[in-house]
Chain A
């Protein structure tokens, strides 16, 4: 996970470690199995889930295709009710904007509700370095924060941990009683967090949707922590990627159940809040100031790509992770990215550079389970293929691979050469027998864990000739 190693070798090393941990993998698989069962049942309650997917994709598509108009409308409406909107083109600008607000208020402590975009800009690191106390109020986020870890899954941040491990963690860090009862553990965290809400000067949240028509952010959650985070402290800052826009309030009628269904298998999450500004004159509570920080951070680079801009439709439900056989076997931390799983593998090369992150496009069997499940119908696995194409086109595959592919083309366009290669292959197979199965066997990467049939004595082509 260290930043200094290159992302490709870090991925390979972590994948080696996690795939060897059979116990952890089966724990992950059984957690996700439970998710899949409830999600299927909830999907079945839609009159027609497939049309709901199409409609949800269309609503997001409309927003993405008219982002300039809808973002301006969203910001105008928010500002009309007294909120301040900050337009930030990258992480640096967003971090500065947020830090400025916090400093202006002489704040000491910050409470946060779950927000992956703050992970994307590494906000916690900065705030802690600047001497502020930062507390994550979502239970899963709170747990990974205590462990000084990144979220494992962008919807279920602590899904990799067993309750026994959380018990040990809480005893160590919170001087908690010895219990692995989930309800008791939750109460321990709640006790700590309630105090933090009351003392926090600033509340930072994300936004699941930004409604252009009304200028409201919409927050989806199950614990009520986002409500407290956005209403108790006197200043509320919401950080939102520009792609979170939806055109109309009525779109939420579809998007909220789609997000809940695809994300957690619920019909609706326990809490859904729409916030459209700070406390108004005739209101008795709510924050005195509300800031909405809009973040580009290379999303417009993706927007400029006509083939892959549909990836901006993503509502971060995490469904593609939950069905992905790669995610299930390497876990979330292996990716080394803010957004794990198929969607992360698609967008990270656009957000952070293809050269360093192209391995994520290759570390997929392109099985398509992600595209099949995506509630807004993003063409995820084909985008991985397109990223592979772009990397190869830029020569990033290396000279050896390029030469191999050239050789492949030469052979496969010439039937006589193909036949000759087949015969040479058989000869080569016999000649290399002494090294078969050893590390210098050219097929070692395969044969280390799998048997491989010997070339057939008679190819199909030879069989066909012989039967004439």
Chain B
């Protein structure tokens, strides 16, 4: 067993409100691995909705609040590649030329998406989870292209007892969410998810797993509307299965 670490949780706003079970699953896995988990209670949102819409000064104000809340955290676990990318990749853009630039980039180095935290920081690839069935993994774009997360979730899933992993066609194609894009251009957004449903269905998988709750909101929302039998799960939920 590795030394127990103090890990702060960042539970993104929409996970807090709509799918807290994802956050709870992450807590269970981290605690089962023997780590001490804490939850800075002042937390709200990383600011991405404003940033993504082009409202950078507004996003920065929300980022200021995030910085205050997590200033003392040694290590931050986030169950979302997208919010992690916001903090690690895009905060530095918001704070360039500001006195806090250094603080921001240092904090970025302590914030990790859940699977990269497990595999790259904690050195864990087998969390002792069990789930029977076939699964396919959807790479969220922010995790994949902004943070370079690709192998970590697959390594973790390969070690889930009873689970076999099948790659779907164009696993790395966007699911169609894209934040406000999904609302501003619902027809394009939905067409992209329709393609995803086709690829996932072809694999005959029981589960579609992703590391990004926002992709799952999009994919799950469309799959359930189309009455697909594929169950959409966050990777934390899978790793929490005993």
List the interface of chain A (C-beta within 8 A of B).
12, 15-16, 19-20, 22, 25, 29, 325-326, 328-330, 361-369, 371-372, 385, 387-393, 397, 401-402, 405-406, 408-409, 411-413, 415, 418, 422, 425, 445-446, 448-453, 455-456, 458-461, 463-464
In the assembled complex, which residues on chain A have CB atoms less than 8 Å from the CB atom of B53?
388, 392, 397, 401, 405
Is A369 within 8 A of B44, CB to CB?
no
What's the least CB distance linking A127 to chain B, in Å? 36
Contact A405 B50 (CB under 8 A): yes
Our pick among B51, B184, B186, B187 for the contact of A362 (Cβ within 8 Å) is B184
CA distance A439 to B234 in the complex (A): 31
The reply on B195 being an interface residue by CB < 8 A is yes
User: Which chain B residues border A401 with CB–CB below 8 Å?
Assistant: 53
Which one of A388, A449, A460 contacts B186 once the chains associate, using CB atoms below 8 Å? A449
- The answer to whether residues A329 and B191 also contact, given A450-B222, A460-B20 and a CB cut-off of 8 A, is yes
Tell yes or no: B235 within 8 A of A by CB.
no
- CB contacts (< 8 Å) of B58 on chain A: these are 405-406, 408-409
- B186 contacts A415, C-beta separation under 8 Å: no
Whole-angstrom CA separation of A405 from B177 in the bound complex? 20
**Which residue of chain A has the shortest Cβ distance to B62 in the bound complex?**
A412
What is the total of A-B residue contacts with beta carbons within 8 Å? 182
Secondary structure call for the B interface: helix
Asked whether B13 is an interface residue with its Cβ less than 8 Å from the other chain, the reply is yes
User: How near does chain A come to B148, taking the closest CB pair, in angstroms?
Assistant: 11
Between A and B, 22 residue pairs with Cβ closer than 8 Å are A364-B178, A365-B189, A366-B52, A387-B54, A390-B54, A392-B53, A397-B53, A405-B53, A405-B58, A408-B58, A413-B64, A446-B221, A449-B222, A449-B225, A450-B193, A450-B221, A451-B220, A452-B217, A453-B19, A455-B17, A456-B19, A459-B17
Chain B contacts for A328, CB-based, 8 A: 195
Residues in A neighbouring B122, C-beta threshold 8 A: none
Write the B20-31 contact mask toward A (1 if CB under 8 angstroms, else 0): 110110000000
A460-B11 in contact given A368-B141, A449-B225 (Cβ < 8 Å): yes
Asked if B221 and A413 sit within 8 Å, CB to CB, the answer is no
> B164 near A: Cβ within 8 Å?
no
Q: CA A22 – CA B47 in complex, angstroms?
A: 36
Chain B nearest CB: distance from A456 CB in Å?
5
Report the separation of the CA atoms of residues A329 and B217 in the bound assembly, to the nearest whole angstrom: 21
The answer to whether B62 and A413 touch across the interface, beta carbons within 8 angstroms, is yes
Contact with B20, one of A16, A326, A406, A459 (Cβ below 8 angstroms): A459
Distance A408 CA – B146 CA, assembled complex (angstroms):
25
Nearest A residue to B176 by beta-carbon distance? A365
A413-B65, A453-B19, A460-B24 known; A16+B190 contact, CB < 8 A: no
- Docked Cα-Cα span, A463 to B221, in Å, equals 24
Q: Which 10 A-B pairs have the closest CB atoms?
A: A365-B178, A388-B54, A450-B221, A392-B54, A367-B174, A368-B145, A460-B20, A367-B141, A19-B191, A329-B191
- Quick one: CB contact mask for B60-97 with A, threshold 8 Å, 1 for yes? 01101100000000000000000000000000000000
Determine the chain A residues whose CB is within 8 A of the CB of B176 once the complex forms. 325, 365
Residue of A nearest to B181 (CB): A365
Nearest Cβ distance between residue A202 and chain B, in whole angstroms?
A: 42
The residue among A19, A25, A409 with the most chain B CB atoms within 10 A of its own CB is A409
Tell me, in angstroms, the Cα distance from A329 to B176 when the chains sit together: 11
- Contact pattern, B 182-206, Cβ under 8 Å of A = 1, otherwise 0: 1111111111111100000000000
Q: Inside 8 A of B49's CB, which chain A residues have their CB?
A: 408
Contacts of B179 in A (CB 8 A): 365-366
Contacts of A329 in B (CB 8 A): 188, 191-192, 195
Can you list, as one digit per residue, whether each of B223-236 has a CB less than 8 Å from chain A (1) or not (0)? 01100000000000
Q: How far is the CA of A405 from the CA of B24 in the complex (A)?
A: 29
Contact A460 B50 (CB under 8 A): no
Q: In the bound complex, do residue A452 and residue B221 qualify as a contact, i.e. CB atoms below 8 Å apart?
A: yes
Cα-based distance from A22 to B195 in the complex (angstroms): 10
B187 touches A19 (CB 8 A): yes
CB–CB B178/A412 < 8 A: no
User: Closest approach, in angstroms, between the C-beta of B182 and any C-beta of chain A?
Assistant: 7
B105 CB, min distance to chain A CBs, angstroms: 17
* Contact (Cβ within 8 A) A415 B185: no
A418-B18 in contact given A366-B52, A409-B58 (Cβ < 8 Å) = no
Which residue on A lies nearest to B175, using beta carbons? Answer: A365
With both beta carbons as reference points, the residue of chain A lying nearest to B56 in the complex is identified as A389
B221 touches A362 (CB 8 A): no
Contact check, A412 vs B44: say whether CB atoms are below 8 A apart.
Answer: yes
Bound together, the chains give a CA A425 to CA B145 distance in angstroms of 33
Is B16 in contact with A459, judged by CB distance below 8 angstroms?
yes
Of all chain B residues, the one with the shortest Cβ separation from A368 is B145
Contacts of A453 in B (CB 8 A): 18-19, 217, 221
Asked whether B120 is an interface residue with its Cβ less than 8 Å from the other chain, the reply is no
Nearest Cβ in chain A — how far from B201, in angstroms?
14
Query: Told that A385-B52, A450-B222 touch, could you supply 6 new A-B pairs with CB distance under 8 A?
Result: A392-B53, A408-B49, A413-B65, A422-B17, A455-B17, A460-B16
Most buried by A among B47, B176, B180, B187: B187
For B20, give the chain A residue with the smallest CB separation: A460
When distances are taken between beta carbons in the complex, the residues of chain A under 8 Å from B191 are 19, 25, 329-330
